[in-house]
Every structure is written in structure tokens, then in C-alpha cells.
Amino acid sequence: MPFERRQDDFTVSTDPDRLDLEAIHAALSREYWSEGIPRETVARALRGSLCFGLYVVEGQREGRQIGLARVITDAATFAYLCDVYVLSEFRGRGLGKLLMRAVMEHPDLQGLRRFSLVTRDAHELYRPFGFAEITSPDRHMEIVRPDIYNTR
């Protein structure tokens, strides 16, 4: 059964059947962290993740997907939050916070030992939900390929 949260004319749902691959790909392919990402890569990422779609539920745009938060998790010890966005025309209405509340309240994401994310500029969105800078960066390692989708 999908997990859902509603606020005014918007809802967040984990129902994978509601995800709009075309809308998600269009948004992600323009974001700084995934510019140029191939459609099939987005589809594969969505299939392997717990996705929180943000939708308009009333008015002329009913059913339109306007945001996303994607969580990669084992649902027991670890989660990685990524691909969080709200379309620019809908920003400033607290919808990022609505997405984050839904993520943090999801039953499969309770009691995790570690919940990670990477952000360039949205620290203040995530801080109220308990996220902070890495306390021991010397313990973390990564492979970063920032231009992996650049086909030029």
C-alpha cells in the first residue's frame, strides 16, 4: 500500500505507478547533479529506489507530477536521499518541506543507523530534519564522476 501525505492542493505518494518518467527525466536532465542523464538511467534508478512523487491534486493541473525525492535504502540500516526537486514554478510554498516530512515519516526509513545525502545549496532545507555536515570526513570515501552524462 502506498504511503501518502497531503498538504493543501498537493500530495506526496510512494505509489510507483503514479511516477511520470517523462516529467522526472525532463527535470533531472536539467539539474546540476544529473545534467544530461539518459532516460533509461532515470528509469533504472526509479525502479531500484523508494520514490516519493509530489503531485498537484486539484485544479487544472490535477495529477501533474511537480517534484520528487528518491531514497536508496536497505530499509533496515542505511538510506541515501537523492534527486530531490520541486519544479521552479511551485517553489516557495513549503513543498520541499512536505516532501522531506513524507520521507522522514515513512515506516521503512525509521531506526536507520545512517541516512546520507549530498547537496550543493539546500543545507537549510535538510537541517530541520536532522541532517548535518559529516562529522568524520576522514572516514568517508567515494568515487565521483561529475561528467558521466556529458556526451560532448
Residue 70, classified by CB atoms within 10 Å of its CB into exposed (0-12), middle (13-18) or buried (19+), is buried
34-75 pLDDT, tens digit per residue, is 999 999 999 999 999 999 999 999 877 778 999 999 999 999
Residue 108, classified by CB atoms within 10 Å of its CB into exposed (0-12), middle (13-18) or buried (19+), is middle
Domain coordinates in residue numbering, the chain? 4-139
Average pLDDT over residues 136-152: 88
* Averaged confidence pLDDT in the chain: 95
Spatial CA neighbour of 50 closest among 82, 20, 14, 84: 14
List, in order, residues 6 or more apart from 88 with CB less than 8 Å away: none
Give residue 68's pLDDT.
98
Give residue 27's pLDDT.
98
pTM: 0.94
Given the candidates 3.40.630.30, 3.40.50.10490, 3.90.660.10, 3.30.565.10, the CATH classification of the domain at 4-139 is 3.40.630.30
Spatial CA neighbour of 42 closest among 126, 151, 115, 149: 149
